[in-house]
Amino acid sequence: MNKKSIQSKRNRYISVLQRFYKSIETYLIKSENITQESYEKKIQNLSRLLEKTQKTELYKSEYKLLEKLVEDMINVKNIEEEKSKILYSINQYEKSVNFKKYKKPKYKNFD
C-alpha cells in the first residue's frame, strides 16, 4: 500500500473513534435514566461503524488514549456502577488534549 492510502485509513479510523467517543459522552451526560440494556444497545449500534473500519496503528499519545477510552467504554459490564469512572476518564482525556492547546509561553520579549 502506498503512503496516502495508509494515512487516509488512519484518518478514517481516528474519526470513527472520535465519533464513537463523542456519542457515548453526550449519551452519558444528557440521559437521565441509563440502564445496562440501553447502554449496550447504544454500544452495539456504534460498534458497527468501528467494525467497518480497519484498525490501524496510532502513533500520537492523544489517539492512543482515545483508542483505550473507546475500548474501556465497550468493555463496561455494569454502567450504573461504572458511569462515574467513564466520565472521569473522558474528563482526563479532554484535559490532556486541551493542555497542549492552552500552553502559555515561558518567556516573552518585552520591547
In a domain, residue 107? The reply is: no
In a domain, residue 1? The reply is: no
Helix (H) or strand (E) holding 38: helix 36-52
Residue 73, domain extent: 7-101
Amino acid making up residue 73: M
In a domain, residue 108? The reply is: no
In a domain, residue 15? The reply is: yes
51: its cell numbers = 467494525
Residue 93, Cβ density class (10 Å: 0-12 exposed, 13-18 middle, ≥19 buried): middle
In a domain, residue 2? The reply is: no
What average pLDDT score do residues 15-24 get?
93
Q: How many domains does the chain have?
A: 1
In a domain, residue 89? The reply is: yes
106: its cell numbers = 515561558
At 111, is the pLDDT very low, low, confident or very high (cuts 50, 70, 90)? low
pLDDT tens for each residue of 28-81: 989 888 888 999 999 999 999 899 888 888 888 889 999 999 999 999 888 888
In a domain, residue 106? The reply is: no
